[in-house]
Each structure stands twice: as structure tokens, then as C-alpha cells.
Amino acid sequence: MRDLLRRLLRQRKAAVGGSILLGFIVLALIGPWLVMDPTELAGRPHQPPSSAHWFGTTGQGQDVLAQTVVGARETLAIGFAVGALVTLMGALIGVTSGYLGRRVDDVLTLTTNVFLVIPGLPLAIVLGAYLPSGPFRMVVVLSLAGWAWNARVFRAEAMALRNRDFVSAALVSGESRSRIVVQQLLPNMASLLGSSFIGNTLYAVGAQVGLEFLGLGDVGSVTWGTNLYWAGNDAALLTRSWWVFVPTGMCIALVGFSLTLLSSAIDEVTNPALKAPPVTTTAVRSAQPAPEEAPAPSGALLSIRDVCIEYATERGPARVVDSVSFDIAPGEVFGLAGESGSGKSTLGYALLRLLPPAASITQGRIVLDGTDVTALDEDSVRAYRWSKVSMVFQSAMSALNPVLTLGDQFHDTLAAHGRTTRAAAYARARELLAMVGLAPQLVDAWPHQLSGGMRQRVGIALALALEPKLVVMDEPTTALDVVVQKELLQRVLELKQRLGFAVLFITHDLPLLLALSDRVGVLQGGKLVEVDTAERLRTDARHPYTRLLLSAFPHLSAADAQQVPANVAPEHAVAQATAQGGGR
Ligand SMILES: Nc1ncnc2c1ncn2[C@@H]1O[C@H](COP(=O)(O)OP(=O)(O)OP(=O)(O)O)[C@@H](O)[C@H]1O
């Protein structure tokens, strides 16, 4: 938390927003002692700014400066009080509802929905009529009208967190449910709590001013809302007495601006991925041709030539893929190995033009089946992805949309690439599910009803839906046990044999790759240090890094691998490798 505050203070947006807000808070605290009584009839009505009244006078002759300064106190006090109350109510109700589920969720969700459908203004008018006037009334009215949508946000967050391992760990360690809500869930929502509080304060200031301007507040008090109410009542607009409402209006706008800056700063600090990279490079368009571009060998399906990929970071561009060149032939399984952080996934994502905004291909060319991937415009990229190259992602859990049935996910994919009816998409989905060894009836299942291995099979089926020529598999079996891993890889090789697609298989498990692939490339620190046939690498790896990687896996060392006969079909080699502990 302290670290979060420190990072927040270093943020320019937070510094500007915080300074403005702090200025107003100080003004609200000590200002009323420095100015005259705002209700005193101190001069002639509608007097423009002068040395006696710096901001002029109202339609009744009161000092506008005094009204603006004194108005800050109640407006901000109500704003912060409502902001805190709405956040607290929303968080407690939402988290309890999302975490406990079942009956409690039903009752709390129903209550929340009832409050959501009641329009805020009539609710405020009705409540206002029954409650005694004063700041307390405004706090109650705005809190009751505002908590419900907050509860929805917190409920969704709690539902996402409740299945996380640390919550299960707290549960099995004997913590009570209420303690889990307060000790485990709420602290993990610190950033959401912070930005909700700021957002709710903004809502409270705006809604309060709006209600008071309409005369629904306590018109006898001095707030920014009542200042505007009296400005309207005293015909300040008609008499063009701009000084009556402009100072209050400016204060409201400045407070709104400062809260917005703070909210955006909290978002950026708690989620650095939101932050725009310092150098905006339009990825591929800035790519320079390779210095001495070697022609792709004829017949290559994929040709990567001298590709460099950089991330824009705070400390300048960081090159994570450095002058990489290799080819993949049609139907070939090409393995890409390298330790964590060597740039394997970045290269895989570049093939699908899926690099994050901070990354750019700064040099080189990627040509797939005659298409220069680096030169595609956005429309062509959409058509190219999945039809020519698809991807099986590492995390089977998060690659599937949890709120769509499997059939709907196939339908979405197929519909994005041409007209298809729901019935036709479902029929194709059944066919694809059967192809990867799953029961076709699973088309109506939800992702959470499947095991990890089944989900990854669905991922493979989805990747094959449009019969691409190349499938990128980014550590598709990392999270699976050895038995499931073995079955899955055998299935991939069978399908490859049948359908003829090529595979770029990414993993740090070099022995597994040697058993699975036709050729293997080894990446070290973004550079491709060795490319050779799997057979030769097994027995005769030349680069010390390749040898180091091989020796790091005792379950299938180079010596073990020699026992795999050269003529063994890859499927059998996979079976052998995985049976010996290929899953690490
Ligand atoms: N958004 C980013 N900004 C800056 N650097 C990044 C970003 N994303 C990744 N990197 C860096 O790029 C390098 C390559 O990352 P990449 O994910 O491609 O590695 P990898 O070999 O696939 O690793 P792993 O097997 O662990 O997934 C790493 O050093 C990583 O820190």
C-alpha cells in the first residue's frame, strides 16, 4: 500500500490532480474564517467585481467571493462523505453477494437491481420530502441513490477472485467467511476501492450540485449548488451578471478535473499496462527491411527474415527479438526453444500481429504463404488471422470465454470469417470436437465444466476451425499432467498428418521439442543461436547454450534421447518422452 502511494505521488497526473484537490480542501477548511459572512447583504445587488468585492455581488447584494469560498466546505464535505459511504456500501454488499453466492446473492442482487431501476431523481425527491433538511439529508439521499451500481462492480470482482487459490487456501486454513471477505477479498480490491471512491466523490459533487440547483437541497445553506440556484433565481443570466455564477462553476469544474486526474492516475499505477508507451511506434509500419535480405527458400510456408522486435519502455526501446531468421516448410513441426524471457512468445505473437501496443517490429520481414505479414493493414490482418495462421494459447483456462458455451465460441470464430448460420457453426463445432477426441455433445457445455486437458483440446479444435496452414502453439501443455500432455501431443501430430498444417511449437522444454519436432530453433536473449534438425540437435548440439538447455532436463538428456531410434515416428517419440517425465 505504501509502495502504491509512493508510485502515485511520482505520477504527474496524480501530482496535478492531488494539488488542485488539496488546494480546495485547505480552502474549505480555513477559507470561511478569512472571508466575510456570505449571507450578509454587503453591497448593492449585481455589482461587478471591484476592490470592495473582488468577485462582485449577488442579486441580493451578498459577496460572491465569500459565497464561493464558504460553499466549498459543505459541498466537499458532502462529496467525500457520500463518496466514502457509497464505496463502502457497494463494496460490502457486492463482495458479500459475489463471494457467498446462492441465497445471499439472490437476495442482495434482487435488492441491488431494484435500486438500480428506480430513477435517481424521483428517489431523491421522495426521500428529500420525508427527511429533515440539512447536509445529512443530502448524504442519505445520494448514498441510497448511488450504492447499487457500485455493488454490481464489486460483486463481479468478488466472483472473479473467489475461485483464486489464495481464497481457497484461506478457507481450508479455517478462516471464517466474513474474515475472508474483509481480510482476503477487500485488500485485493485496493485499487478498485481507491478509484471507486474518487469516482463516487465526483458523482456526489455533481449530483449534489444538480439537486441543489433544482431547489431540492436546503436553499438556506451556502453550497456551490445553492449558489447556482440563487444565481438562477436572481436572474443573473438575464442581467448578464456572469460574475455571480462563473466562480462557482469554475470551482466545480476544477474539482471535477482534479478527481478525474486522480482516478486516471490510480488506474495507471495499479494497472501499468493501461499506460501508453512513451514512444508510440506504429508497430509494423515502421519496420525496416532487413539490411541484406536473404531470399526465402522456394517452397517455405513461413519465412522470417532478420526480424527485430522492440518494446517501448520508460528507459527507452528494449530489443527482445534480435535479427531472427528461419523458415518453416508446409506440414513441418518447427520447435522454438529457449529459457523464460528469451522472446519466444513475442515472436509467436508477431506472426499473428498480436503484439501489445508497446511492442513493434522494427526490422525485417515475415512472409506467410506469400503474404507479407508486416505490411498488412488492419482490415487484412483480421482476414489473415485464424484463416492462415491460428494460435493455441498457453492458458487453456483463460483462452476460452467463460460466459459462452463451446458452440457459441465456435460460432463467433466462424462468423467472424464469413457468413454462417448458428446451426451450421454448431455442426462444424461438433465435427471439430470429435476430431480432437471430445464428445460432440460438449458443444453445449460451458468452459468451467471441462478439465484443463479438455479445454486445451477445445483450444486446438478452435485453432483448426478455419483450416489454417500454420498453427502457433505457445506452451500448450505446460499446465497439464504428463498423461494428458502425451495424449494431447499425439492428437496434434495425428491431426497434422491428416490435415497437413505446419506447427510452430513454443516451449522451454527442449527435450520435449526434440521428440516432437522436425527442426528446432534455440533462442537465447532474443537471438537465434542454433537451428537444426531435431535428430542432429539430440546428438550433436553445437552451441553451448543448446547443450546447457539439454543438460537442464535430467528426464531426457541427450544420452537418453539417443535411445530414441531415428526412424521412430514423432508420435511414438512423444509417448516415450512424456512417459519419461516430459511434463517436468
Ligand atoms: N509489455 C512489455 N514491455 C516491456 N517488455 C516486455 C513486455 N512484454 C514482454 N517483455 C519482455 O520481453 C522479453 C521476452 O518476453 P516473452 O514473453 O516473449 O518471453 P518468452 O521466451 O516467451 O518467456 P516465457 O516462456 O516465460 O513466456 C522478456 O524479457 C520480457 O520482459
- Three cell numbers at 238? 438575464
Grid coordinates given for 38:
456570505
Give per-residue burial for 446-474: e unless 16+ CB within 10 Å, then b.
Answer: ebeebeebbbbbbbbbbbbbbebbbbbbb
CA–CA dist 568, 583 (Å, integer)? 20
Looking at per-residue pLDDT, the higher value among 396 and 443 belongs to 443
Place of cell 525485417: 364
Nearest protein CA to atom 10 of ligand 1, as residue: 311
Total domains in the chain come to: 3
> Is it the case that residue 294 has pLDDT exceeding 60?
no
Considering only residues 396 and 252, tell me which one the structure prediction assigns the higher pLDDT: 252
Q: Are 224 and 241 in contact (CB under 8 A)?
A: no
Question: Using one digit for the tens of pLDDT, what is the confidence trace for 485-539?
Answer: 788 888 889 999 989 999 999 998 888 888 889 999 999 999 999 999 999 988 8
Among 222-236, 390-404, 549-563, the range with the most confident prediction by mean pLDDT is: 222-236
Q: How far separated are the first and last CA of the chain, in Å rounded?
A: 36
Instruction: Give the CA diameter of the chain.
Output: 104
Angle at which helices 406-415 and 422-435 cross, to 10°? 110
316 CB near ligand 1 (under 6 Å)? no
Look at residue 297 in the predicted model and tell me its pLDDT. 54
Q: Do the Cβ atoms of 69 and 31 come closer than 8 Å?
A: yes
Position 31 pLDDT exceeds 70: yes
Residues 187 and 48 in one domain: yes
C-alpha cell at 164: 483464486
- Name the residue of 309, 344, 524, 584 whose CB sits within 8 Å of the most ligand 1 atoms, as the mutation to test its pocket: 344
Output the nine-digit C-alpha cell for 259. 478527481
Predicted confidence at residue 111, as pLDDT, reads: 94
pLDDT confidence bin for 101, thresholds 50/70/90 = confident
Express each pLDDT in 189-232 by its tens digit. Answer: 888 898 899 999 999 999 999 999 988 888 899 999 999 999 99
Q: Which cell goes with 454? A: 479438455
Same domain, 460 and 478: no
Q: Can you give the pLDDT at residue 309?
A: 95
- Atom 8 of ligand 1: nearest residue by CA position: 311
Residue 129: pLDDT over 80: no
Measuring CA to CA, how many Å separate 33 from each of 29, 73, 530? 9, 11, 77
The answer to whether 195 and 263 have CB atoms below 8 angstroms apart is yes
- Residue 342, Cα to own-chain centre: how many angstroms? 24
* 508 touches ligand 1 (CB under 6 Å): yes
Asked if the structure places residue 406 within a domain, the reply is yes
> CATH number of the domain that 502 lies in?
3.40.50.300
**At 155, is the secondary structure helix, strand, or coil?**
helix
Residue 501 lies in a domain: yes
Assess if residue 11 is contained within a domain. Answer: no
H or E element: which one contains 459? helix 452-463
**Does the beta carbon of 344 sit less than 6 angstroms from any atom of ligand 1?**
yes
Query: Which of 263, 262, 250, 257 lies closest to 72 in space, CA to CA?
Result: 250
Kindly give the distance from the C-alpha atom of residue 565 to the centroid of ligand 1, in angstroms, as a whole number: 36
Alpha carbon 202 to chain centroid, angstroms: 24
Report the range of poorest mean pLDDT among 39-48, 55-64, 112-121: 112-121
Rg (CA), the chain: 32
Which of 376, 394, 335 has the alpha carbon at shortest distance from 514?
335
The predicted model gives 454-460 an average pLDDT of 90
Measuring CA to CA, which residue among 267, 250, 488, 469 is closest to residue 351? 469
Say if residue 385's pLDDT is above 90. Answer: no
Atom of ligand 1 nearest to the CA of 346: 18
Sign of the torsion formed by the C-alpha atoms of 391, 394, 374 and 336: negative
Tell how far CA 388 is from the center of its chain.
27
Q: How far is the CA of 452 from the centre of ligand 1 (A)?
A: 24
* 99-114 burial: b if 16+ Cβ within 10 Å, else e: bbeeeebeebbeebee
What integer pLDDT is reported at residue 567 of this predicted model?
A: 38
Note whether residue 193 is domain-resident. Answer: yes
Residues 237 and 298 in one domain: no
Ligand 1 mean position, distance from CA 179 (Å): 37
User: Are residue 452 and residue 490 in the same domain, yes or no?
Assistant: no
Ligand 1 in reach of 346 Cβ (< 6 A): yes
Q: Is residue 17 part of a domain?
A: no
Q: Give the H or E element holding residue 562.
A: helix 558-562
**Angle (nearest 5°) at CA 111 between 106 and 115:** 145
| CA dist 349 → 353, 366, 397, 581 (Å) | 6, 12, 19, 28
Res 584 pLDDT > 80: no
Residue 394 CA: nearest ligand 1 atom is: 27
482 — pLDDT class (breaks 50, 70, 90): confident
- Same domain, yes or no: 64 and 200: yes
10 domain residue, yes or no: no
* Predicted local confidence at residue 566, as pLDDT: 39
Do 57 and 41 touch, CB atoms closer than 8 A? no
Residue 172: per-residue pLDDT = 76
Give distance in angstroms: CA of 492 to centre of ligand 1. 26
**Same structural domain, 218 and 238:** yes
Q: Which of 69-83, 454-468, 510-524, 536-550 tops mean pLDDT?
A: 69-83
- Please tell me the least confidently modeled range out of 116-120, 291-295, 493-497, 539-543: 291-295
Same domain, residue pair 565 and 475: yes
Q: Is the ipTM of this complex over 0.85?
A: yes
Q: What is the mean pLDDT of the chain?
A: 85
Task: Tell whether 80 and 200 lie within a shared domain.
Answer: yes
Q: Residue 120 is part of a domain; what is its CATH number?
A: 1.10.3720.10
Residue 579 pLDDT greater than 50, yes or no: no
Looking at the structure, tell me whether residues 497 and 515 fall in a common domain: yes
Q: Are 444 and 565 in the same domain?
A: no
- From 225, 255, 274, the end of a domain falls on 274
Distance 220 CA to ligand 1 centre (A): 61
- 318 C-beta closer than 6 A to ligand 1: yes
Domain annotation covers residue 4:
no
Question: Which domain covers residue 116, as residue numbers?
Answer: 23-274
Whole-number Å distance between alpha carbons of 250 and 260 = 15
Ligand 1 atom at minimal distance to the Cα of residue 475: 25
User: Quick check: 223 and 208 in contact, CB under 8 A?
Assistant: yes
* 345 ligand 1 Cβ < 6 A: yes
- Per-residue confidence (pLDDT) for residue 298, from 0 to 100: 62
Q: Flag whether 2 is in a domain.
A: no
Query: Is 88 a residue whose pLDDT tops 80?
Result: yes
The strand order across the sheet containing 371-372 reads 316-328, 302-313, 359-368, 371-372
> Which of ligand 1's atoms lies nearest the C-alpha of 508?
25
Burial code (b: 16+ CB inside 10 Å, e: under 16) for 33-43 equals eeebebeeebb
Whether residue 574 contacts residue 489, with contact meaning beta carbons closer than 8 Å, is answered with yes
Spatial distance between the Cα atoms of 68 and 303, rounded to a whole number of angstroms: 69
Per-residue pLDDT tens digits for 259-289: 999 988 888 777 666 555 544 344 454 555 5
Domain boundary among 274, 299, 334: 274
* pLDDT of residue 428 exceeding 60: yes
| Ligand 1 proximity of 313 Cβ (cutoff 6 Å) | yes
Give 344 Cα–ligand 1 centroid separation in angstroms. Answer: 8
Do 451 and 519 reside in the same domain of the chain?
Answer: no
Find residue 324's DSSP bridge partners: 307
Distance 469 CA to ligand 1 centre (A): 26
Grid cell 447556482 in the structure block, residue: 228
pLDDT band at 557 (very low <50, low <70, confident <90, very high): very low
Residue ending a domain, choose from 234, 249, 274: 274
Is the domain of 378 the same as that of 408?
no
